[in-house]
Amino acid sequence: MNTAVPYALVGVGLFALGFYALIVHAHLLRKILALNVMGSGVFLLLVALARRSGVALPDVVPQAMVITGIVVAISATALALTLMLRLAAASGRAELPDGRED
Amino acid sequence: MAAPFIDLPWGIILILLPLAAAMAAFLWPSMAKAVGLVTAVAVVVAVVGLGWQLLDHGLYRHAIGGWGAPLGIELYADGLSLLMLMATALVGFAVSLYAAAYFKAEDAARFWPLWLVLLGALNALFLAADIFNLYVTLELVGLAAVALAALTGSATALGAAMRYLLANLLASLAYLLGVALLYHGFGSVDIAILATRIAPAPVAFAALGLITTALLLKTALFPLHFWLPPAHASAPAPVSALLSALVVKASFYILLRLWLELFAPLGAGAGIDALLGLLGAAAVLWGSVQALRQSRLKLLVAYSTVAQIGYLFLAFPLALASSVAVWSAVAYLALAHALAKAAMFLAAGNLLRFGGHDRIADLDRAVQRLPLTTAAFALAGVSIMGLPPSGGFVGKWLLLEAALTQGRWGLALVMILGGLLAAAYVFKVLGYAFTPAAVAHKSTAVPASMEWAALLLALAAILLGFMAPLLLPLLGIGEPFGANGAGP
């Protein structure tokens, strides 16, 4: 069995776990963390799959993608946290408004 | 003749100029409005330049910094990209004109940098040639759009923006996972290279599922539309126009592009095209009925977007038999909807500013007091309903023709029903615009440029109906719909 496969499976597992947490938790901080876990899952998968069987050096393209992905994830998380704080200040709760507005 | 003008690197200008302008608008807020307006005009010029180039040389391909595929980033444009860029430039120009009068001091300083980032990101998205670059631009578009949706800072808008952001990020990660699988399976992210290598393997189907679902969520196809109405309705009018007209189309463009190049053979075999058609039909009916039930104008227009997006997906099951005609119809419909929906949201913004509310039942003789705005709403409505001679008519007619010749009576019926329902909700608004309300309301003056911007877009949506002989050949540049060969 390829050594990369367990890492890739863990990556997919993290993605699924994060998705579950995103759905079930109401608090926005938990939702934002769940998205970060999902992101880590994708990054782990990318890095793991970069090592192909039979090639000595890992492929650098997925690693470049991970770096880009991390930059995107940081910006997204920063925006999400700011929005959460503003929402909590405006509505008193760090949760999504349930139901529709009038 | 004007050779030096043609040979400017328009693709690069379309991306770099708005981004540089965004930076300038952020650093010098007092000049933000001027910078934004100049950039909006320059982008129109650059799209014309790019169109000229495409007519002259055919396909546009540019390897950034001399690094081409497979390692570097390439820009790519064909007729489909050009059409989307034209929609962006036109809507962007009119919305900029509108926003210049709409936003005051502090809000203006926040709006212009974000809008210019969005403009640059949209242009980059329509010019991207590889699926990873599409991910980055899609994320940029999403983040700028969410920030714009939260601009008013009210609890409603913040809640809607937060929901929008979470849906967006979830979709982006699913898309990225699909990209990772495609790269692992076929060793490239360049769409053209992938198109030659893709094969019906399990990894390809997993990527197809992930990427399609992600883009459906971003495009707000029923039943994944839950985030759209609150986000689009609670944003300031110019932002609603941008979100409904352009941002939703960006993810649809990616889906269309990937479907055409990579997924069509896989998806048709697995019955995914039929599923997309079914969801599209459900979206047309559900969105229209919901629009009809709304008592607030902006929510009505937002649900109308949900319905009109459904039309774009009705094409998927029809495309197998007559692909060029059907996909041209879809591209035309997307352009017509972008213009008409932006006009509707701008008109709704005028009515909201004028009366201080957007309750449909209290429009109170808007037709006498804001004739230009009401005309803009009505003309945009003509295109949304798909009545001749509008752009919406051309797109819907081509789709209907394909459905009838293929004997797909169910789809044809949905298209006609959707048109009738659209007529119902447009006339509901217009009816109240003609009648006086029970209680008189105070009114605020609306700047002329805001009225004219809405009317300009609505007229463009109507004129589009006459432009088909001009635009359809333009759309065929590079054969994006695979007339006699592969696209990129």
DSSP chain A: --THHHHHHHHHHHHHHHHHHHHH--BHHHHHHHHHHHHHHHHHHHHHHHS-TT-SSPPSHHHHHHHHHHHHHHHHHHHHHHHHHHHHHHHS-SBPPPS---
Q: What is the pTM of this model?
A: 0.93
Question: Does B118 contact A at CB distance below 8 Å?
Answer: no
For tokens 């992905």, the residue is: A69
d(C-alpha B447, C-alpha B442), whole Å: 16
Question: Does B230 contact A at CB distance below 8 Å?
Answer: yes
Cβ atoms of residues A7 and A24 within 8 Å: no
DSSP B367-401: HHHSHHHHHHHHHHHHHHHT-TTSHHHHHHHHHHH
Radius of gyration of chain B (CA): 21
The tens place of each residue's pLDDT in chain B, 488 residues long, gives: 445 666 788 899 999 999 999 999 999 999 999 999 999 999 999 999 999 888 888 888 888 887 776 777 889 999 999 999 999 999 999 999 999 999 987 889 999 999 999 999 999 999 999 999 999 999 999 999 999 999 988 999 999 999 999 999 999 999 999 999 999 888 888 898 898 898 888 889 999 999 999 999 999 998 999 999 999 999 999 999 999 999 999 999 999 999 988 888 787 777 888 899 999 999 999 999 999 999 999 999 999 999 999 999 999 988 877 788 889 899 999 999 999 999 999 999 999 988 888 888 888 788 888 889 999 999 999 999 988 889 899 999 999 999 999 888 999 999 999 999 999 999 999 988 888 877 766 788 889 899 999 999 999 999 998 988 888 888 888 888 765 333 33
d(C-alpha B316, C-alpha B255), whole Å: 11
| Chain-chain contact of A91 with B159 (C-beta, under 8 angstroms) | yes
Cβ-Cβ contacts under 8 Å for B373 (sequence gap 6 or more): B347, B350, B351, B354, B366, B446, B451, B454, B455
Count Cβ atoms within 10 A of the Cβ of residue B270 and give its class: 0-12 exposed, 13-18 middle, 19 or more buried: middle
d(C-alpha B4, C-alpha B279), whole Å: 48
CA dihedral B381, B387, B392, B396 (to 10 degrees): 130
| Chain-chain contact of A22 with B170 (C-beta, under 8 angstroms) | yes
Token digits of residue B160? 């809607």
A-chain residues within 8 Å CB-CB of B154? 90
| Chain-chain contact of B139 with A28 (C-beta, under 8 angstroms) | no
ipTM over 0.90: yes
pLDDT (tens digit, 9 = 90+) per residue, B110-119?
A: 999 999 999 9
Cβ-Cβ contacts under 8 Å for B95 (sequence gap 6 or more): B115, B238, B241, B242, B342, B346, B453
d(C-alpha B245, C-alpha B231), whole Å: 14
Per-position b or e across B396-420, b if 16+ CB within 10 A of its CB: bbbbbbbbeebebeebbebbeebbe
| Chain-chain contact of A97 with B155 (C-beta, under 8 angstroms) | yes
For B38, the 3-state DSSP assignment is helix
Strands (E), B57-192: 60-63, 74-77
The backbone torsions φ and ψ at residue A30, rounded to the nearest 5 degrees and listed phi first, read -65, -40
B-chain residues within 8 Å CB-CB of A75? 143
Closest Cα in chain B to A63:
B180
How many residue pairs bridge chain A and chain B with CB atoms within 8 Å of each other?
89
Closest residue by Cα to residue B279 from B229, B314, B330, B320: B314
Residue A61 has pLDDT above 90, yes or no: no
H-run or E-run covering B205: helix B202-219
Question: Does B154 contact A at CB distance below 8 Å?
Answer: yes
Cβ atoms of residues B40 and B96 within 8 Å: yes
Count Cβ atoms within 10 A of the Cβ of residue B193 and give its class: 0-12 exposed, 13-18 middle, 19 or more buried: middle
| Chain-chain contact of A61 with B183 (C-beta, under 8 angstroms) | yes
Cβ atoms of residues B284 and B227 within 8 Å: no
Q: Which of A52-66, A83-97, B283-297, B332-346 is least confident?
A: A52-66
The backbone torsions φ and ψ at residue B296, rounded to the nearest 5 degrees and listed phi first, read -105, 135
H-run or E-run covering B449: helix B448-463
Closest Cα in chain A to B138:
A72
End-to-end CA, chain B: 28
A-chain residues within 8 Å CB-CB of B173? 15, 35, 38-39, 42
* Shortest Cα–Cα distance, A23 to chain B (Å): 10
A-chain residues within 8 Å CB-CB of B183? 46, 49, 61-62, 65
Other Cβ atoms closer than 10 A to B171 = 25
d(C-alpha A78, C-alpha B169), whole Å: 12
- Written as one letter, the residue type at B70 is P
Question: Does B184 contact A at CB distance below 8 Å?
Answer: yes
